[in-house]
Amino acid sequence: MFENIEFKELKTAKGFTFPLLDYIPEGWKPLKNASVQPLGYQWYWNGKSLFGGEYKDALIKIEDEK
């Protein structure tokens, strides 16, 4: 189910890369208490265990709520 998701990447000046998506995949949930996220994005995760090898997270572009 999650293996068909194609991620874009955000690269930082320090060489880190973060997965980006323009939509929320089915079953994904907002990641509460994320320490840092760029303006206009929110962290989401797939709800799988970090220890089971199926965990995925991504920055999701959120709509501007004005």
Q: Which domain holds residue 41?
A: 8-61
Residue 32 lies in a domain: yes
Residue 16 lies in a domain: yes
Domain count within the chain: 1
Residue 1, pLDDT above cutoff 50: no
Say if residues 54 and 36 touch (Cβ distance below 8 Å): no
Say if residues 59 and 19 touch (Cβ distance below 8 Å): yes
Residue 66 lies in a domain: no
pLDDT for the residue 13: 76
Whole-model pTM: value is 0.75
pLDDT digits (tens, 9 = 90+) for 13-36: 788 888 888 899 999 999 988 878
- The whole-angstrom separation of Cα 51 and Cα 66 is 39
